Structure 1
Amino acid sequence: MERLGNGASERHAKIILDSYNRLLGKPLVDSEGAGGTSEAELLFEAPIVVLSHGTQADPVLNFGNRAALGLWEMDWDAFTQIESRHTAEPMIQAERQRFLEAVEKQGYIDDYNGIRISSSGRRFRIEQAVVWNLHDEDGNYYGQAATFKNYTFVQEGES
């Protein structure tokens, strides 16, 4: 597993998983029958796309599971050095405002759709993504995470 398994990564995985469970009232990944598998490994190997970014003014991605790395066609080092806005096409201002207000109001949104761009320029539409705020064990804001399982590759000019 890439760059996971140390204390910070285990903590980060726990924050992602706990924040999701607290806000949405259900687990993000199924740990049933996982045995001694760590939360970080479960999250990294999950069959859904999971990614997160930090709290910087221009947030930088700080986690992507195997599915995210594959979809964006990046390795861990490249993925965790990119500003999250560079993975997407610019949002229409009204759509962005609705999105931000919904996440602010309830801590998450569970119906986000948008166009993303891989490192090679492949465009894909994500559908029914969940985006949620992350808070650490002390309640401090820790960034945001997103997950989705539905996406479709799109041709140039499609949206």
Structure 2
Amino acid sequence: MFVRGKGKDDHLTGTAKAPKEDDPNYRTWKTNNSMVQSWLISSMTTEIGENFLLFATAADIWEAAKITYSSTENTSELFETESILHELRQGESTVTHYFSTLTRLWQKLDLYDNHQWTCPEDSTLYNKIVETKVFKLLSGLNKELDEVRGRVLSIKPLPSL
């Protein structure tokens, strides 16, 4: 977000290509590239950042870090997150804290799901995903909230779009 906010995200994607060294724009590109490299490396722990010091461009650092540290293919992390979700209950937490924890875990799972919404019937799949999350939320609430749970479960689902 920071790099995009500074208008330098083209250096991450590789869209901002290096001009030839004799091009008058080369110095500006090199300055901007070095700045983005610095931002990236500074945002990493020292042990990780040191591995990226010799990369030529910010795009090279970004791509290598994405390949090395991306979790979109991490099956063990996916399993761990699903296990935590399965076991999670409100317990001593407030409803707000419980819901926030669920939301954070669901967002983490969303990184692994690559839904391709292509037709109106996909709303059925979307509704099923939302319904599953609502049932998980309700099933983990403390027993003293059974009245709330009963009211929500008696609400009819939204029709498909």
- TM category (shorter chain) comes to under 0.3
Larger RCO of the pair (alpha carbons < 8 Å, separation 6+): 1
More helix by share: 2
TM-score (norm 1): 0.18
Provide TM-score, normalisation by structure 2: 0.18
